[in-house]
Amino acid sequence: MLRSSLKLAEKIFEKDVEQIPTRQGYGEGLVIAGEKDPNVVVLCADLTESTRSNLFKEKFPSRFVEMGVAEQGMATVAAGMANYGKIPFISSYAAFSPGRNWEQIRTTIALNDVPVKIAGAHAGLTVGPDGATHQMLEDIALMRAMPNMIVVYPCDSVEAKKATVASAANGKPTYIRLAREKTVVITTEATPFKIGKADVFWISKDPQVSIIAAGSLLFEALIAAQELEKTGINVEVVNCHTIKPLDERTIISSVKKTGAVVTVEEHQIIGGLGGAVAELLAKNLPTPQEFIGMPDHFGESGEPDELLRKYHMKSEDIVVAVKKVIVRKNS
C-alpha cells in the first residue's frame, strides 16, 4: 500500500510491470462471489467472453443466463430476479448497459432499490479502434445521477475483483465500470479496498496539490507525481474508486492540506468524477480545480495511447494541470 510504503510505487514503474484488463478481475470476482453466495446469478447480452462472464458460466452453468442482444430485457429480468432474493449481475458493454437500457435500470432496478449489479465493460476512450459509438464516456454521469445507485470505477484487475465481490454483498444497485484494454496492476491482494472509501496512494511532504483519480488513469497520475517530485513539486494522489458515494472525509482532508485539486478520469469532464469533486468542494471548501478528462467531445477510432495523448489524458498533461492550478492557487 503506497500510503505506508513506496515499494509498490517502485514496482509499477518497472518496464515489465504486469498488465491485465479490469474485466478479467470482474470475471474472477464473479466466481468468488458465486462461491460465497448461491443466490448470485449472472446474465449477459451476447458478450460472454468479452465481459469475462464466461468464467462464471463455466463454474456455475445453471446460474448463468444468456439473454442475447437484449440489454433492456436483461435489466428487467434481473430486477425481477432480485425482487425474489437473487443477486443478479448483468454484463454488457457500457455503451449498451447503461447506455441503451438506462430507462429500464432507472424504473425497474433503482426505483425499486433492488440489488442488481450493472457491469459496464469496454468503457472509456481506450476501446480505441471501435470508435465513438463504443467509447462510452458518459456512463458515470448517467449512473451517479440515479438515486439509490452506487458507482465504482476500479483502477486495476485486482481492485475490480474486490469491487465485484464487495458489491455482491452490499444489498444495493451498483454500477461497476470496466475497461477493455490491459491496465497496469497497481494494487495487491493486501491493498485495502472498501466501497465508499478512497485511499491515498502517493504522499509527499508538504503537498501542494491533491490529484484525485479513478480507473486506469490513476497510473498516469502516479507517473505524474513521480515526475513532479523530481522538480520540487509535491502532490498527494488519491485513488477515488468509488464515485458515489464519494468519500467526502478523505477528499476534504487532502484538499485542506494542499489548497488545490486536479481530477483525472477517462470520462467526460462534465458530470463525472471531476464534477462530483467540484460539487463537494463548492459546498464545503471552495478550491481551485483543474480537470483531466474528455473535454465535451465524442471520441474517434485510433490506438488507445494515441487517443489519450490527443485528448490530453497522459501523465504529461497532468503535470501541466498541476502547475496551472498552483499558479491559480497562488494568484
Tens place of pLDDT per residue across the chain (331 aa): 344 334 444 555 555 688 999 999 999 999 999 999 999 999 999 999 999 999 999 999 999 999 999 999 999 999 999 999 999 999 999 999 999 999 999 999 999 999 999 999 999 999 999 999 999 999 999 999 999 999 999 999 999 999 999 999 999 999 999 999 999 999 999 999 999 999 999 999 999 999 999 999 999 999 999 999 999 999 999 999 999 999 999 999 999 999 999 999 999 999 999 999 999 999 999 999 999 999 999 999 999 999 999 999 999 999 999 999 999 999 9
14, 35, 66, 71: the active-site residue: 71
Residue 12: how many CA atoms within 13 Å on its side-chain side? 27
**116 φ, ψ (degrees, to nearest 5):** -85, 140
Parse the chain into domains and list their residue ranges.
Answer: 7-16+193-324, 19-184
Q: Cell triple for residue 142?
A: 448517467
The residues near 322 (Cβ < 8 Å, ≥ 6 apart) are 209, 211, 224, 228, 233, 235, 262, 290
Q: Please report, as a single letter, which amino acid is at residue 48.
A: T
Q: Which fold has domain 7-16+193-324?
A: Rossmann fold (3.40.50)
pTM of the model: 0.95
HEC readout, 68-85:
CCCHHHHHHHHHHHHHCC
Q: Which CATH number fits domain 19-184: 1.20.1560.10, 3.90.1150.10, 1.10.240.10, 3.40.50.970?
A: 3.40.50.970
- 212 by DSSP, 3-state: which? strand
> Identical fold at 7-16+193-324 and 19-184?
yes
C-alpha pair distances (Å), 204 with each of 226, 257, 322: 10, 11, 14
Residue 23: how many CA atoms within 13 Å on its side-chain side? 25
Residue 159 designated active-site: no
